Amino acid sequence: MSSLPSEHLASPKDLPSVDRLLHGPAAAALLDEHGRTLVLHEARALLESLRAQALAGRLDATRVETDALVTALRDRIAERLRPRMRRVINLTGTVIHTNLGRALLAEPVIEHLLAMQGPNNLEYDLARGGRGDRDDVVEELLTTITGAEAATVVNNNAAAVLLTLAATAHGREVIVSRGELVEIGGAFRLPDVMASAGARLVEVGTTNRTHAHDYQRAINERTALLLKVHTSNYAVQGFTASVDEAQLAAIAHAHGLPLASDLGSGSLVDLATWGLPREPLPQEKLAAGCDVVTFSGDKLLGGPQAGLIVGTREAVRRIRTFPMKRALRMGKLPLAALEATLRLYLRPERLTQDLPTLRLLTRPAADIRAMAERLAPAVTHAVAPRFAVTVEDMQSQIGSGSLPIDRLPSAGLALAPAGTARKGTGSALEALATALRALPQPVIGRIAEDRLWLDLRCLESPDMLTAQLPQLQRELS
Ligand SMILES: *Cc1c(COP(=O)(O)O)cnc(C)c1O
């Protein structure tokens, strides 16, 4: 704070009353646009904050002039009305980024969502003219795509696992390999989910090796289910052994028990088709004999948040009719988005164009590098002289816990402090990252090895970035 001579400071008595502040024509326009409730609330809050500053001897006299007060009020109202959830530009290099909203919805999906805002046949059978089931919206698509006998959907995959466990194993035992007791970022830990579902977890085998006889020995009259969990976000390497679904299904069915598989990400198409690291497919797990397979809607599937449950008619019926299903069901808009996304899978040859997640994952590194070369001069201009910009090869990640050890060759811009900014590299980079996040469409990069990395894999249109460069330049100067 600069210390101003006291005659330039305002005292609390220089501040107008709320009534007087809202009296003039400029304030009338605000009242007209926003109504009394919001304008009054913000006017009071503004005057209160200025009064505190005046009392502390920190309020410049120019700030209590009518024009300045109305401008401050208008800014406050605009800030209050600004959405907290905002579109950002993901240059982290992680395509399915859980903190940035995971999969991006496809254009036709968004159009379908807008249309479904109005009344729709969510739970209405148009053929019979009576009550319908919201699962009908997607069940046929899911069974067609996965080959399952039946399917149901819930709020997310955590809910799908919880519901599957509760409906099939409440008060009984579920056998899981010790090597598969996963934690998926934050609150989803398999043993906790098991407890929430009221099922008793029976761990078998060891962290690195579990054998068929480990499962066989653990089966008793309290056993309700065998569960296989895809270790989506870590890999156990070296001296390892696990029992695959086909073997487990044989063991389970020999005892009259069902087998469930939580795939986590679960891609509906074989990513190896496009040279990407392979993820297990629900259709393979069903073919191997699983009675239930659960997976997410907003990971590799590329749709909205959803938990998909596919399996045998009997297993899915039990899950669908369990009372907890009502608490975990999908809302109409995510369900509309899921249907429109699944419909894209009917034309798999077009998926790398139609589905943004797959479009980004299959983007050739050479294209990304060419974009980086084109953008480098403009970005250099915006951040010079404090930062130097170079085009670099980078390694993108698929993200969302899938395929943690696989990387996709990518490219982008690396920004390094230059000249005097080199003295405080860490704080200079933090300031740069903060300035990027302060843009109207915040740009999210990654700081590592004394540089700020902007991986351009997820930047499909460079205009979104270039349009904001003048503002970035102002923020930095
Ligand atoms: C991601 C994941 C979940 C949780 O899925 P959400 O859709 O995020 O609720 C559960 N299990 C596995 C193995 C996962 O990878």
Q: Please report, for the chain, how many H helices and E strands are present, in that order.
A: 20, 18
Q: Are strands 292-296 and 259-264 parallel, antiparallel or unpaired?
A: parallel
Ligand 1: residue whose CA is nearest its atom 2: 264
Please, what's the b/e burial string for 431-458 (b: 16 or more CB within 10 A of its CB; e: otherwise)? bbbebbeebeeebbbbeeeebbbbbbbb
State how far the Cα of 253 lies from the Cα of 176, in Å rounded to an integer.
16
Ligand 1: residue whose CA is nearest its atom 15: 264
Closest ligand 1 atom, CA of 232? 15
Partners of residue 9 on adjacent β-strands:
60
Closest ligand 1 atom, CA of 182? 13
Kindly give the residue spans of alpha helices, DSSP state H, lying in 404-457: 425-437
Ligand 1: residue whose CA is nearest its atom 1: 264
Q: Which domains does the chain have, with CATH numbers?
A: 6-81 (no CATH), 89-98+361-476 (3.90.1150.110), 107-350 (3.40.640.10)
Nearest to 174 by CA among 114, 224, 104: 224
Partners of residue 293 on adjacent β-strands:
261, 310
Closest ligand 1 atom, CA of 185? 1
Q: 399 CB less than 6 Å from ligand 1? A: no
pLDDT, residue 187, reads 75
Q: How many Å lie between the centroid of ligand 1 and the Cα of residue 122?
A: 26
Q: How many Å lie between the centroid of ligand 1 and the Cα of residue 158?
A: 6
Q: How many Å lie between the centroid of ligand 1 and the Cα of residue 233?
A: 10
Ligand 1: residue whose CA is nearest its atom 10: 264
State how far the Cα of 393 lies from the Cα of 47, in Å rounded to an integer.
53
The answer to whether the beta carbons of residues 296 and 307 sit under 8 Å apart is yes
Instruction: Enter the tokens of residue 224.
Output: 């309700």
Q: How many Å lie between the centroid of ligand 1 and the Cα of residue 356?
A: 20
Q: 229 CB less than 6 Å from ligand 1? A: yes
Ligand 1: residue whose CA is nearest its atom 13: 264
Q: How many Å lie between the centroid of ligand 1 and the Cα of residue 265?
A: 7
Q: 309 CB less than 6 Å from ligand 1? A: no
Q: How many Å lie between the centroid of ligand 1 and the Cα of residue 153?
A: 14
What order of strands is seen across the sheet that includes strand 150-154? 150-154, 307-311, 292-296, 259-264, 223-229, 173-177, 200-204
pLDDT, residue 276, reads 92
Closest ligand 1 atom, CA of 159? 9
Query: What are the tens digits of pLDDT across the range 304-363?
Result: 999 999 999 999 999 999 999 999 999 999 999 999 999 999 999 999 999 999 999 999
Q: 188 CB less than 6 Å from ligand 1? A: yes
Q: 283 CB less than 6 Å from ligand 1? A: no
The answer to whether the beta carbons of residues 95 and 399 sit under 8 Å apart is yes
The answer to whether the beta carbons of residues 209 and 240 sit under 8 Å apart is yes
Q: Are strands 443-444 and 89-90 parallel, antiparallel or unpaired?
A: parallel
Give me the residues of the chain with pLDDT under 70, please.
Answer: 1-7, 186, 401-405
Ligand 1: residue whose CA is nearest its atom 12: 264
Q: Exposed, middle or buried by CB within 10 Å (0-12, 13-18, 19+), for 197?
A: buried
Nearest to 416 by CA among 395, 447, 443, 439: 447
Query: What are the tens digits of pLDDT across the range 212-259?
Result: 999 999 999 999 999 999 987 777 888 888 999 999 999 999 999 999
pLDDT, residue 266, reads 85
Closest ligand 1 atom, CA of 306? 7
State how far the Cα of 427 lies from the Cα of 192, in Å rounded to an integer.
40
In 338-407 the beta strands, taken as DSSP E runs, fall at 387-399
DSSP 288: T
pTM, whole model, 2 decimals?
0.92
